[in-house]
Amino acid sequence: MATLSDPGARALLEQPNYAVISTFDPDGSIRSTIVWVSAENGALAVNSAVGRRWPTNLGRDPRITVLVYEAGNPYNFLEVRGRARGTLEGADAHIDALAKKYIGQDEYPYRQPGEQRIKFLIEPDHVRHVQM
């Protein structure tokens, strides 16, 4: 099994490659959403606003699948299945770091008044890297 520290996985995570996360809606159907992603101490980190659907899903059922794919070659991808743990601590700094990585801005420009950010750390149970 691959790990997040393998060179190919690290390369995908260090670049501004998008990720698709999949969570479970209350009726058991799968909800997939495109997100920005980073790696932190052997885990993946994603960020959202409190109250949105997929963070609410993770609060109820922490199981998640993350698929990170290379912008110019979607057949170079990283699949991570695991469990997510949400925290408000450091969430604002994390979204600002993601904004720097993905759009070159020091602060996340799409923050809404009164919005509270939440960061999820995803501990991998399964990691698979495919490169074609």
Q: What's the pTM?
A: 0.94
Looking at domain 7-131, its CATH architecture is: Roll (2.30)
Q: DSSP strand E in 17-116: where? A: 19-24, 30-35, 38-40, 43-49, 63-70, 73-87
**Domain coordinates in residue numbering, the chain:** 7-131
Q: For residue range 10-66, list pLDDT tens digits in order.
A: 999 999 999 999 999 999 999 999 999 999 988 999 999 999 999 999 999 999 999
Q: For residue range 60-87, list pLDDT tens digits in order.
A: 999 999 999 999 999 999 999 999 999 9
Distances (CA, A) of 10 to 29, 120, 124, 127: 31, 19, 14, 12
Distances (CA, A) of 96 to 77, 109, 124, 127: 25, 9, 24, 27
Yes or no: say if 109 and 99 are a contact pair by the CB < 8 Å rule. Answer: yes
